[in-house]
């Protein structure tokens, strides 16, 4: 497993890429409303990334082994779509939930983040699912510190989601990130504490749990990219890119419009942390 902790100058580049990715979500947030198409959101984000930020949309034409090139600049996963939803003609309606997943490349470095949006009012279940997925992400992030194990992250995520009656998708995980979109290590969102690779300062990776309202089982659609829940239940996901520091962690994908961390993140018992 080849893992290369980032140098101080590389970390600065990652901070910039992460902030820019988060600012795309700030920009698009007012446009996520009833009547907009997911393709319209993609065009707005693409133009903002390329024309305003001077960044490259990493998903556009991305083609890992076994996949045809991804055709759009962002991912939009609506309701029972778990991840990698392809923007198109779908019109968002009141009550929908949608994950908008952004990855930008700035000066060769990747910033990767996603947020859930509730279109209009949303049901009680939808709001509770989105809230739980957000908390689960942060429960995992809280475990990040030098000397902790990958299993500590996954266990914290899984325990929180399942304690609320939801399930964790196991076929997809977080990942190392830097000059490459996907690097080692893989960050599972389930597992046992004190198991797995030990974390080192300078490591950068995503924490991005996918939480289902029903069973954890998934299936792929014929487009070759979109993943949905097998039982058609709602699914929610949040994502941050995180840096392991000597003192704890730093979240790299934050911006002026980022939702604040849950109240428990500020509790005295948490590891030393920086939300940049």
The distance of Cα 202 from the centroid of its chain, to the nearest Å, equals: 20
16: buried, middle or exposed (CB in 10 Å: 19+, 13-18, 0-12)?
middle
The answer to whether the Cα torsion of 130, 249, 202, 200 is positive or negative is negative
The model's pTM is 0.95
**Quick one: tokens of 189?**
């969102």
Q: What is the pLDDT of residues 1-36, one digit of tens each?
A: 589 899 999 999 999 999 999 999 999 999 999 999
Q: What is the pLDDT of residues 232-252, one digit of tens each?
A: 999 999 999 999 998 899 999
Is the pLDDT reported for residue 161 higher than 70?
yes
Asked whether residue 256 is assigned to any structural domain, the reply reads yes
Asked whether residue 16 is assigned to any structural domain, the reply reads yes
Identify the pLDDT of residue 266: 66
How far CA 44 is from CA of 198, 233, 251, in Å, comes to 40, 29, 26
Calculate the average pLDDT of the chain. 95
Is the pLDDT reported for residue 270 higher than 50?
no
Is the pLDDT reported for residue 269 higher than 70?
no
Is the pLDDT reported for residue 205 higher than 60?
yes
Q: How many domains does the chain have?
A: 1
Asked whether residue 3 is assigned to any structural domain, the reply reads no
Is 103 in contact with 18 (CB distance < 8 Å)? no
Q: What is the pLDDT of residues 170-198, one digit of tens each?
A: 999 999 999 999 999 999 999 999 999 99
Q: What is the pLDDT of residues 34-61, one digit of tens each?
A: 999 999 999 999 999 999 999 999 999 9
Identify the pLDDT of residue 1: 59
Q: What is the pLDDT of residues 64-77, one digit of tens each?
A: 998 999 999 999 99
Domain limits at 111? 8-275
Average pLDDT over every residue of 119-147: 97
Asked whether residue 201 is assigned to any structural domain, the reply reads yes
Measured at the CA of 64, the angle between CA 107 and CA 157, to 5 degrees, comes to 85
Asked whether residue 1 is assigned to any structural domain, the reply reads no
Model confidence at 268, pLDDT cuts 50, 70, 90, reads very low
Is the pLDDT reported for residue 273 higher than 80?
no
Is the pLDDT reported for residue 213 higher than 80?
yes
Identify the pLDDT of residue 276: 53
Could you tell me the CATH number of the domain that includes residue 226?
A: 3.90.230.10
Question: Can you tell me the distance from the alpha carbon of 52 to that of 249, in angstroms, rounded to the nearest whole number?
Answer: 30
């Amino acid at each position: 497993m080849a893992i290369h902790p980032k140098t101080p100058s590389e970390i600065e580049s990652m901070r910039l890429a992460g902030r820019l990715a988060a600012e795309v979500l700030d920009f698009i947030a007012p446009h996520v409303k009833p009547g907009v198409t997911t393709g319209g959101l993609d065009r707005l984000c693409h133009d903002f990334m390329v024309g305003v930020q001077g960044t490259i949309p990493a998903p556009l034409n991305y083609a890992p082994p076994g996949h045809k090139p991804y055709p759009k600049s962002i991912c939009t996963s609506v309701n029972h779509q778990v991840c990698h939803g392809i923007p198109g003609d779908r019109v968002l309606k009141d009550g929908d939930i949608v994950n908008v997943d952004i990855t930008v490349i700035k000066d060769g470095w990747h910033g990767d983040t996603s947020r859930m949006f509730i279109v209009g009012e949303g049901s009680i279940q939808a709001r509770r699912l989105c809230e739980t997925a957000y908390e689960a992400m942060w429960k995992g992030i809280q475990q990040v510190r030098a000397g902790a194990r990958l299993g500590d992250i996954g266990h914290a995520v899984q325990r929180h989601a399942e304690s609320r009656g939801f399930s964790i998708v196991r076929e997809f995980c977080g990942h190392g990130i830097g000059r490459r979109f996907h690097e080692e290590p893989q960050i599972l969102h389930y597992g046992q504490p004190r198991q797995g690779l030990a974390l080192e300062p300078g490591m950068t990776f995503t924490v991005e749990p996918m939480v289902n309202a029903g069973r954890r089982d998934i299936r792929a659609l014929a487009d070759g990219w979109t993943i949905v829940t097998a039982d058609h239940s709602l699914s929610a996901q949040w994502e941050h890119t995180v840096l392991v520091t000597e003192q704890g962690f730093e979240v790299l994908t934050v911006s002026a419009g980022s939702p604040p961390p849950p109240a428990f993140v500020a509790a005295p018992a948490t590891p030393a942390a920086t939300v940049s």
